[in-house]
């Protein structure tokens, strides 16, 4: 069973987090959920633990970031490595951040053109 875990940065401000929660609710898909890197819940490890308990065996982690900075180059891979050791029976796949996807770049170009 496969699942996509959207990974946002996180904030102590619930208003900052709400658009990500709303996005997942809008998608209305059981195979998509949300985690935060820091400062908000659920964390990546909490989300993975919950999904493993639901018998999910393949997780695609999709960062909701524009680019791969230090968090995506260092922190997230280290956390995934730690989780992979903790749960050797599951597959964790880190995808490129959404900002690098051509569809997102085209959508941003349209928003900028209409501004």
Tokens 């928003």: give the residue.
111
**3-state SS string over 46-100?**
HHHHHHHHCCCCEEEEEECCCCCCHHHHHHHHHHHHHHHHHCCCCEEEECCCHHH
Judged by DSSP in three states, 35 sits in strand
Determine whether 9 is an active site residue.
yes
Whole-number pLDDT of residue 1: 79
Residues lower than pLDDT 70 in the chain: none
Whole-number pLDDT of residue 69: 87
pLDDT tens figures, 61-84: 999 999 988 989 999 999 999 999
Q: What are the boundaries of each domain within the chain? A: 2-114
Q: Which CATH class for the 2-114 domain?
A: alpha beta
Whole-number pLDDT of residue 22: 97
User: Which of the residues 3, 9, 58, 101 is marked catalytic?
Assistant: 9
């Amino acid at each position: 069973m496969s699942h996509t875990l959207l990974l946002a940065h996180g904030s102590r401000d619930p208003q900052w987090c709400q658009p990500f929660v709303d996005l997942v609710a809008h998608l209305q898909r059981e195979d998509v959920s949300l985690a935060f890197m820091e400062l908000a819940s659920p964390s990546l490890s909490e989300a993975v633990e919950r999904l493993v308990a639901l018998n999910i065996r393949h997780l695609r982690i999709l960062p909701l970031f524009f680019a791969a900075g230090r968090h995506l180059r260092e922190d997230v891979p280290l956390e995934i490595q730690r989780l992979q050791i903790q749960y050797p029976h599951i597959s964790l796949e880190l995808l490129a951040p959404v900002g690098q996807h051509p569809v997102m770049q085209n959508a941003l170009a349209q928003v900028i053109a209409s501004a």
